[in-house]
Amino acid sequence: MSDSLIICVSDYWQRCHYHNRPNPEAGDAWPKSKPLRRLCIHVDAINGNYYLREFLHQHVLAESLRRNHGVQLVWLQFEEPQKDIIDYRFADMLAHTIWERIEVEHLMSWLSTLGGGFSALGEQFERCAKTAGKISLQQLKIGLRLGDPFLQTRCKLYYSISLIQRGQLRMAKHLIREQYQFASKNIEKDVRLMRMCLGIWRRLSYEYEQRRLRKGGN
Protein backbone atom coordinates (compact mmCIF):
# COMPACT_ATOMS: atom_id res chain seq x y z
CA MET A 1 0.00 0.00 0.00
CA SER A 2 2.90 2.36 0.72
CA ASP A 3 3.96 2.24 -2.97
CA SER A 4 0.49 3.09 -4.26
CA LEU A 5 -0.38 6.51 -5.58
CA ILE A 6 -2.43 8.31 -2.95
CA ILE A 7 -5.51 10.16 -4.21
CA CYS A 8 -7.17 12.96 -2.26
CA VAL A 9 -10.48 14.50 -3.29
CA SER A 10 -11.26 17.90 -1.81
CA ASP A 11 -14.96 18.74 -2.15
CA TYR A 12 -16.79 22.09 -2.20
CA TRP A 13 -16.52 22.39 1.60
CA GLN A 14 -12.76 21.64 1.66
CA ARG A 15 -13.35 18.22 3.18
CA CYS A 16 -10.73 15.68 2.14
CA HIS A 17 -11.52 12.12 1.07
CA TYR A 18 -8.50 9.86 0.66
CA HIS A 19 -8.05 6.79 -1.54
CA ASN A 20 -5.16 4.31 -1.29
CA ARG A 21 -4.27 5.89 2.04
CA PRO A 22 -1.63 3.94 4.03
CA ASN A 23 -2.96 1.72 6.78
CA PRO A 24 -1.03 2.16 10.06
CA GLU A 25 -2.33 -1.17 11.38
CA ALA A 26 -0.69 -2.95 8.43
CA GLY A 27 2.66 -1.31 9.12
CA ASP A 28 2.26 1.52 6.61
CA ALA A 29 2.71 5.11 7.67
CA TRP A 30 2.77 8.61 6.23
CA PRO A 31 6.33 9.70 5.46
CA LYS A 32 7.33 12.26 8.09
CA SER A 33 10.82 13.18 6.94
CA LYS A 34 9.61 15.22 3.95
CA PRO A 35 6.24 16.29 2.55
CA LEU A 36 4.63 14.25 -0.18
CA ARG A 37 5.15 15.52 -3.71
CA ARG A 38 1.76 16.55 -5.00
CA LEU A 39 0.08 16.93 -8.33
CA CYS A 40 -2.75 19.43 -7.80
CA ILE A 41 -5.60 19.43 -10.30
CA HIS A 42 -8.49 21.90 -10.16
CA VAL A 43 -11.43 20.40 -12.00
CA ASP A 44 -15.23 20.60 -11.94
CA ALA A 45 -16.97 17.83 -10.02
CA ILE A 46 -18.45 16.19 -13.12
CA ASN A 47 -15.14 15.64 -14.90
CA GLY A 48 -13.42 15.10 -11.57
CA ASN A 49 -15.23 11.82 -11.07
CA TYR A 50 -13.79 10.57 -14.37
CA TYR A 51 -10.33 11.70 -13.28
CA LEU A 52 -10.71 9.84 -9.99
CA ARG A 53 -11.78 6.63 -11.71
CA GLU A 54 -8.81 6.78 -14.10
CA PHE A 55 -6.28 7.37 -11.33
CA LEU A 56 -7.69 4.48 -9.27
CA HIS A 57 -8.02 1.91 -12.04
CA GLN A 58 -5.33 2.84 -14.57
CA HIS A 59 -2.35 1.38 -12.74
CA VAL A 60 0.02 2.14 -15.64
CA LEU A 61 -0.84 5.85 -15.39
CA ALA A 62 -0.37 5.84 -11.62
CA GLU A 63 2.95 4.04 -11.91
CA SER A 64 4.16 6.47 -14.60
CA LEU A 65 3.35 9.49 -12.44
CA ARG A 66 5.06 7.95 -9.44
CA ARG A 67 8.23 6.74 -11.17
CA ASN A 68 8.80 9.29 -13.92
CA HIS A 69 7.60 12.41 -12.14
CA GLY A 70 7.98 11.49 -8.48
CA VAL A 71 4.30 12.16 -7.76
CA GLN A 72 3.18 10.57 -4.49
CA LEU A 73 -0.15 12.34 -3.97
CA VAL A 74 -2.72 13.47 -6.54
CA TRP A 75 -4.85 16.27 -5.12
CA LEU A 76 -8.19 16.68 -6.92
CA GLN A 77 -9.78 19.98 -5.99
CA PHE A 78 -13.42 19.74 -7.02
CA GLU A 79 -15.08 22.93 -8.15
CA GLU A 80 -18.73 23.55 -8.84
CA PRO A 81 -19.52 23.11 -12.57
CA GLN A 82 -20.78 26.11 -14.49
CA LYS A 83 -23.94 24.25 -15.39
CA ASP A 84 -25.50 20.96 -14.34
CA ILE A 85 -25.67 18.07 -16.76
CA ILE A 86 -28.66 15.74 -16.90
CA ASP A 87 -27.76 12.11 -17.47
CA TYR A 88 -30.70 11.16 -19.68
CA ARG A 89 -29.44 7.62 -20.23
CA PHE A 90 -29.25 6.93 -16.51
CA ALA A 91 -32.63 8.61 -16.00
CA ASP A 92 -34.19 6.27 -18.57
CA MET A 93 -32.59 3.24 -16.89
CA LEU A 94 -33.85 4.40 -13.49
CA ALA A 95 -37.36 5.04 -14.81
CA HIS A 96 -37.46 1.57 -16.38
CA THR A 97 -36.27 -0.04 -13.13
CA ILE A 98 -38.89 1.80 -11.07
CA TRP A 99 -41.65 0.91 -13.55
CA GLU A 100 -40.56 -2.74 -13.50
CA ARG A 101 -40.57 -2.79 -9.68
CA ILE A 102 -44.09 -1.31 -9.59
CA GLU A 103 -45.36 -3.91 -12.04
CA VAL A 104 -43.70 -6.72 -10.10
CA GLU A 105 -45.25 -5.50 -6.83
CA HIS A 106 -48.64 -5.39 -8.56
CA LEU A 107 -48.12 -8.93 -9.82
CA MET A 108 -47.08 -10.11 -6.36
CA SER A 109 -50.27 -8.71 -4.82
CA TRP A 110 -52.40 -10.60 -7.36
CA LEU A 111 -50.46 -13.82 -6.82
CA SER A 112 -50.82 -13.45 -3.05
CA THR A 113 -54.59 -13.07 -3.35
CA LEU A 114 -54.86 -15.97 -5.77
CA GLY A 115 -52.53 -18.16 -3.71
CA GLY A 116 -54.49 -17.42 -0.53
CA GLY A 117 -57.72 -18.56 -2.18
CA PHE A 118 -56.23 -21.83 -3.44
CA SER A 119 -54.55 -22.38 -0.08
CA ALA A 120 -57.92 -22.09 1.69
CA LEU A 121 -59.45 -24.60 -0.75
CA GLY A 122 -56.39 -26.79 -0.26
CA GLU A 123 -57.70 -27.76 3.17
CA GLN A 124 -60.31 -29.87 1.38
CA PHE A 125 -58.89 -30.49 -2.10
CA GLU A 126 -55.35 -31.70 -2.75
CA ARG A 127 -55.46 -30.33 -6.30
CA CYS A 128 -55.96 -26.82 -4.94
CA ALA A 129 -53.09 -27.32 -2.48
CA LYS A 130 -50.80 -28.23 -5.38
CA THR A 131 -51.90 -25.12 -7.28
CA ALA A 132 -51.21 -22.97 -4.21
CA GLY A 133 -47.73 -24.50 -4.05
CA LYS A 134 -47.07 -23.66 -7.72
CA ILE A 135 -48.15 -20.07 -7.11
CA SER A 136 -45.76 -19.84 -4.14
CA LEU A 137 -42.91 -21.06 -6.34
CA GLN A 138 -43.73 -18.38 -8.92
CA GLN A 139 -43.63 -15.79 -6.14
CA LEU A 140 -40.27 -17.20 -5.03
CA LYS A 141 -38.87 -16.70 -8.55
CA ILE A 142 -39.94 -13.07 -8.40
CA GLY A 143 -38.36 -12.71 -4.96
CA LEU A 144 -35.09 -14.11 -6.30
CA ARG A 145 -35.18 -11.65 -9.19
CA LEU A 146 -35.77 -8.73 -6.84
CA GLY A 147 -33.03 -9.94 -4.50
CA ASP A 148 -35.28 -9.57 -1.45
CA PRO A 149 -34.35 -12.31 1.10
CA PHE A 150 -37.34 -11.58 3.36
CA LEU A 151 -39.76 -11.90 0.45
CA GLN A 152 -38.09 -15.17 -0.51
CA THR A 153 -38.56 -16.45 3.05
CA ARG A 154 -42.27 -15.61 3.04
CA CYS A 155 -42.73 -17.41 -0.27
CA LYS A 156 -40.98 -20.49 1.10
CA LEU A 157 -43.28 -20.45 4.13
CA TYR A 158 -46.32 -20.23 1.85
CA TYR A 159 -44.97 -23.25 0.01
CA SER A 160 -44.51 -25.11 3.31
CA ILE A 161 -48.27 -24.71 3.95
CA SER A 162 -48.93 -26.43 0.64
CA LEU A 163 -46.58 -29.24 1.66
CA ILE A 164 -48.43 -29.69 4.95
CA GLN A 165 -51.78 -29.84 3.18
CA ARG A 166 -50.41 -32.55 0.87
CA GLY A 167 -49.02 -34.59 3.77
CA GLN A 168 -45.32 -33.91 3.04
CA LEU A 169 -44.62 -33.07 6.66
CA ARG A 170 -40.92 -33.91 6.79
CA MET A 171 -40.07 -31.58 3.90
CA ALA A 172 -42.22 -28.85 5.42
CA LYS A 173 -40.49 -29.29 8.79
CA HIS A 174 -37.00 -28.70 7.36
CA LEU A 175 -38.22 -25.75 5.29
CA ILE A 176 -39.84 -24.02 8.27
CA ARG A 177 -36.77 -24.55 10.44
CA GLU A 178 -34.48 -22.99 7.83
CA GLN A 179 -36.69 -19.92 7.49
CA TYR A 180 -36.98 -19.47 11.27
CA GLN A 181 -33.19 -19.62 11.64
CA PHE A 182 -32.84 -16.97 8.93
CA ALA A 183 -35.47 -14.71 10.52
CA SER A 184 -34.00 -15.00 14.04
CA LYS A 185 -30.28 -14.74 13.20
CA ASN A 186 -30.49 -12.00 10.59
CA ILE A 187 -29.25 -8.56 11.66
CA GLU A 188 -32.60 -7.02 10.71
CA LYS A 189 -34.92 -9.31 12.63
CA ASP A 190 -38.43 -9.53 11.21
CA VAL A 191 -40.72 -10.23 14.16
CA ARG A 192 -43.74 -10.84 11.95
CA LEU A 193 -41.76 -13.37 9.94
CA MET A 194 -40.74 -15.21 13.11
CA ARG A 195 -44.36 -15.30 14.30
CA MET A 196 -45.40 -16.61 10.90
CA CYS A 197 -42.87 -19.43 11.25
CA LEU A 198 -44.17 -20.30 14.72
CA GLY A 199 -47.78 -20.27 13.54
CA ILE A 200 -47.07 -22.63 10.64
CA TRP A 201 -45.00 -24.82 12.99
CA ARG A 202 -48.04 -25.20 15.27
CA ARG A 203 -50.08 -26.27 12.27
CA LEU A 204 -47.35 -28.78 11.40
CA SER A 205 -47.35 -30.11 14.98
CA TYR A 206 -51.12 -30.52 14.81
CA GLU A 207 -50.82 -32.57 11.61
CA TYR A 208 -48.14 -34.75 13.18
CA GLU A 209 -50.41 -35.35 16.17
CA GLN A 210 -53.34 -36.25 13.93
CA ARG A 211 -51.15 -38.66 11.99
CA ARG A 212 -50.02 -40.28 15.25
CA LEU A 213 -53.61 -40.68 16.43
CA ARG A 214 -54.65 -42.25 13.14
CA LYS A 215 -51.80 -44.76 13.34
CA GLY A 216 -52.70 -45.54 16.95
CA GLY A 217 -56.32 -46.13 16.04
CA ASN A 218 -55.38 -48.48 13.23
Within-domain flag for 1: no
Length of the chain: 218
**Smallest Cα–Cα separation from 162: which of 177, 151, 176?**
176
Residue 217 vs residue 19, higher pLDDT: 19
22 plus 47 within the same structural domain: yes
Within-domain flag for 205: yes
118 plus 205 within the same structural domain: yes
Furthest-apart CA atoms within the chain: distance in Å: 91
Please identify, among 61, 79, 97, the residue that sits at the C-terminal boundary of a domain: 79
- Look at residue 28 in the predicted model and tell me its pLDDT: 58
Q: Are 45 and 81 in contact (CB under 8 A)?
A: yes
- Look at residue 171 in the predicted model and tell me its pLDDT: 92
112 plus 164 within the same structural domain: yes
53 plus 145 within the same structural domain: no
- pLDDT tens column, 138-193: 888 888 887 888 888 888 989 999 999 998 999 999 999 998 888 888 666 678 88
- Distance between CA atoms of 175 and 170, rounded to whole angstroms? 9
Predicted confidence (pLDDT) at residue 55 exceeds the cutoff of 50 = yes
Within-domain flag for 149: yes
- pLDDT tens column, 100-148: 888 888 888 888 888 888 888 888 888 898 998 898 888 888 888 878 8
- Look at residue 32 in the predicted model and tell me its pLDDT: 59
Within-domain flag for 218: no
- Distance between CA atoms of 150 and 111, rounded to whole angstroms? 17
- pLDDT tens column, 23-47: 655 555 555 556 778 899 999 888 8
- Look at residue 2 in the predicted model and tell me its pLDDT: 47
Residue 36 structural domain: 6-79
pTM value surpassing 0.85:
no
Please identify, among 33, 55, 79, the residue that sits at the C-terminal boundary of a domain: 79
- Look at residue 153 in the predicted model and tell me its pLDDT: 87
119 plus 155 within the same structural domain: yes
125 plus 144 within the same structural domain: yes
- Look at residue 85 in the predicted model and tell me its pLDDT: 75
35 plus 67 within the same structural domain: yes
Contacts 24+ apart (CB under 8 A), 55-63: 55/5, 55/7, 56/7, 56/19, 56/20, 62/4, 62/5, 63/5
Please identify, among 79, 110, 144, the residue that sits at the C-terminal boundary of a domain: 79
Predicted confidence (pLDDT) at residue 75 exceeds the cutoff of 70 = yes
